[in-house]
Structure 1
Amino acid sequence: MLDLRDAVFSTWEARVRERIVQARDVQHPILIDTLPAFYDNIAQSISPDYPRITAVDGTSVAAEHGGERARVTVYDHAALIEEYQILRWAIFDVLQREQVDIGHHEARTIHASIDAGIQEAVEAFSLVHSGFRERFAAALTHDMRGPLAASMSGLELILLSNDLTRVKTVAAKALTNLQRMAAMVDELLNTMAFHSGESIQLALTKVDIWEVAKEVQTDALAAHGPRIHLDGRSIVGCWDRAALKRAVENLVSNAVKYGAAGSPVTIRLDNVHERLLLTVHNEGEPIPPDEQECIFQMYRRAEAALSGQRQGWGIGLPYVRAVAESHGGSIGLDSSLERGTTFVIDIPLDARLVPAAPTLQTTNG
């Protein structure tokens, strides 16, 4: 079995990439992960006189595999279980092809090892995702506490004041904070629905994306200074204005947060073959290849965000993906030390062309 390990994993990898959608773009070292060590443990467990009963006996290798699948891939429970099932039959098929005879006891040990490996990997996978959700809940609570406290303080001042001008000013600030909270809740609900297989319910209207981007730039300039640039022209399409604006805000906020301090952040607009290409670019440390898919998943943030203790609740980029894909397009990413980091929203000019078109709103065309 040890001599046939490369043959087994060659067969396994080909089948996994064919059958498991989440595995198709995973780089080879990440896909293989700790499974060769698990395989060696299986070989040891069927070796006479070797002190190992099954492949999980006295080792955490399967649990580590499940944890890594949760941390660095977009696997779900079904994908994790299926790749172990594929491993099971890759082993038996290669042994049969190479005319390696194994007895009933050895076959039962292989089956028992795979079954135990699945159990430990899924348990670890679930624990990691529970941790993601707990951190997400904590971050969400933290981010909502600010506007909630400001709104409550404003309402308390209104109750104590007889100055109508002051009341209106304070009420406007309280309303702004409540609207901010409402937008966060909408963003969360939309992203959760999208990750459950639903499209965001869009209100499609005639939109000039230059006006939307200009509003985002103006707000960002007030918050971050003259480093926010806008390049492009008027491009009119049929989109959900509020959703696109929130998506661009998230990309700009992400660029400011993770880009090199003080470096320019550029929003660029282009119309190519009746598609909108909206890019947001920043300079600074690149996003590692093995994190580039994870950052678009709910509850997940790149390692730089976690290690740097930057605030955020891990919903911004998943929301951007939900908006782009619900418009019939996609969100792309290009990142390197030399080129910087660029996110690209690529959507049709007319989202009504998308099959199963989103909810239409007829106002303004």
Structure 2
Amino acid sequence: MTLASDQNTDARGLSPLSLRMLELREPVFAEWMKKVSSSVKGAGSLPHPILINTLPTLYDNIAEALTPDYPRTGAASVTPSAAMEHGGERARLTNYEVTAVICEYQILRTTIFEVLEQHGVALGTHEVRIISTAIDGAVRESATAFSLAQAAFREQFVATLAHDLRSPLAAATASAQVIPYLRDFDKLEKVAGKIVENLGRIDKMIQDLLDTAVFQGGQRMSLHPSCFDIAELAGDVCEQAATVFGPRFELTGPSVHGWWDRDAIKRALENLISNAVKYGAPDTPVRISYQTYHERLLLSVHNRGDPIPPDQVESIFQVFRRATAARQGEKQGWGIGLPFVRSVAESHGGSIDVDSDQERGTTFAIDIPLDCRPFQNAPVLS
């Protein structure tokens, strides 16, 4: 029985070339995985079943197509389902760009020809054309499915955004509507405070959305560096967080003056603290610390709780994507907080690091130069 999509249980109808190609499936994919893991960004960290994906089915479909009278001729009968599923899974389960998906197929084509040649399997012009045409078709189908899945992620994001905006907007509207009927100044002040608070939530959501549009397009954040003390800023952020989440924040570090964008660093730190509270173990301390080394600032936020699986670390920095545990849990979010933090770090000429383990806890660290001004034109990741 083959792995082909028709699940053919009788190989007697296949040609010797098709049978030989089926016999060489494992050597082909052993070599393919080796090449892809070393040359396609993100492939090396994928678990084996995720990396191999639906490609063996595609491979066996191609093998069947090499039999002259077998009812599987032309790319249309070889690639659609397996290739579309491959593209969809790559969008959902990896951090690939569409170019990585295309590269995988290019490597598969080369590997097939190389392994067949190494094992003395001669291919005629017609057979070469069948294999190449099938893989070209798979590239088109996979790229289309990948793009559709990415579009779906964006639509989900927009739907979540619309839903999240309605809540504070409705609260602000309701508060505004009762103002004409209030005569008690204390009650009026309280209602006005609710309006300001909810409008602030809306403003932050819109600002996050604008920032997302910038760094998703590979553009740099527009920084406005000024010289300030990180100790003062971190103290203010922790004090504000304590009023919302309670006195669970531990701040350590000396006075450190540097040239950074105050608002961007503040919002990045707020995101990391919010993330630590959201996903950390309840009623455990959240530690914020900062230190300098070799003219750099290391600003970190640590929490206890379930660790981030190693194969999902990179996905949490992708726009609209979160780690599996977060997506499957009850925590709500847009999946743009950590990508924003990465954008802030990179725009300052630095980077962000994460260390996560059951015993060590989870630590996110912004590592940037003390003076970001010379590095504002450095490229950032899209």
Alignment partner of 1:199 is 2:220: yes
Q: For 1:242 and 1:356, how far apart are their aligned partners in 2?
A: 19
TM-score, normalised via structure 1 length: 0.87
Q: For 1:339 and 1:39, how far apart are their aligned partners in 2?
A: 44
Q: Which runs of 5+ in 2 are unaligned?
A: 1-20
Q: What amino acid does structure 1 have at the position aligned with 2:207?
A: D
Q: What amino acid does structure 1 have at the position aligned with 2:157?
A: F
Distance 1:185 1:25, change over 3 A: farther
Larger radius of gyration: 2
Tell me the CA shift for residue 105 of structure 1: 2.7
Partner of 1:281, secondary structure, is strand
Give the structure 1 partner of residue 116 of structure 2: 95
Q: What amino acid does structure 1 have at the position aligned with 2:236?
A: E
Q: Which runs of 5+ in 1 are unaligned?
A: 359-365
Give the structure 2 partner of residue 361 of structure 1: none
Give the structure 1 partner of residue 263 of structure 2: 242
Alignment partner of 1:23 is 2:42: yes
Give the structure 2 partner of residue 38 of structure 1: 58
Distance 1:267 1:25, change over 3 A: farther
Partner of 1:75, secondary structure, is coil
1:124 to 116, 127, 145: 145
Conservation of the 8 A alpha-carbon contact between 2:279 and 2:305: yes
Tell me the CA shift for residue 198 of structure 1: 0.6
Conservation of the 8 A alpha-carbon contact between 1:16 and 1:23: no
- Greater Cα shift, 54-63 or 113-122: 54-63
Conservation of the 8 A alpha-carbon contact between 2:301 and 2:363: yes
Tell me the CA shift for residue 308 of structure 1: 1.1
Instruction: Provide, for residues 131-177 of structure 1, a one-character-per-residue CA deviation record: whole Å limited to 9, x for no partner.
Output: 32232223222322222122212322334446666545533432332
Sequence identity (%): 52
Tell me the CA shift for residue 35 of structure 1: 2.6
Give the structure 1 partner of residue 191 of structure 2: 170
Equivalenced residues, count = 357
Tell me the CA shift for residue 192 of structure 1: 2.0
Conservation of the 8 A alpha-carbon contact between 1:139 and 1:311: no
Distance 1:316 1:164, change over 3 A: same
Give the structure 2 partner of residue 74 of structure 1: 95
Tell me the CA shift for residue 357 of structure 1: 6.9
Instruction: Provide, for residues 311-362 of structure 1, a one-character-per-residue CA deviation record: whole Å limited to 9, x for no partner.
Output: 111111111111111111111111121211111111111111205279xxxx
Conservation of the 8 A alpha-carbon contact between 1:42 and 1:54: no
Partner of 1:356, secondary structure, is coil
Q: For 1:179 and 1:343, how far apart are their aligned partners in 2?
A: 26
Conservation of the 8 A alpha-carbon contact between 1:23 and 1:31: no
Provide the aligned C-alpha RMSD in A.
Answer: 2.7
Distance 1:114 1:259, change over 3 A: same
Conservation of the 8 A alpha-carbon contact between 2:38 and 2:44: no
Q: For 2:226 and 2:69, how far apart are their aligned partners in 1?
A: 73
- Greater Cα shift, 262-271 or 154-163: 154-163
Greater relative contact order structure (CA < 8 Å, 6+ sep) = 1
Q: For 1:69 and 1:210, how far apart are their aligned partners in 2?
A: 43
Give the structure 2 partner of residue 222 of structure 1: 243
Partner of 2:251, secondary structure, is strand
Q: For 1:164 and 1:261, how far apart are their aligned partners in 2?
A: 38
Give the structure 1 partner of residue 10 of structure 2: none
Tell me the CA shift for residue 47 of structure 1: 4.4
Q: For 2:43 and 2:297, how far apart are their aligned partners in 1?
A: 27
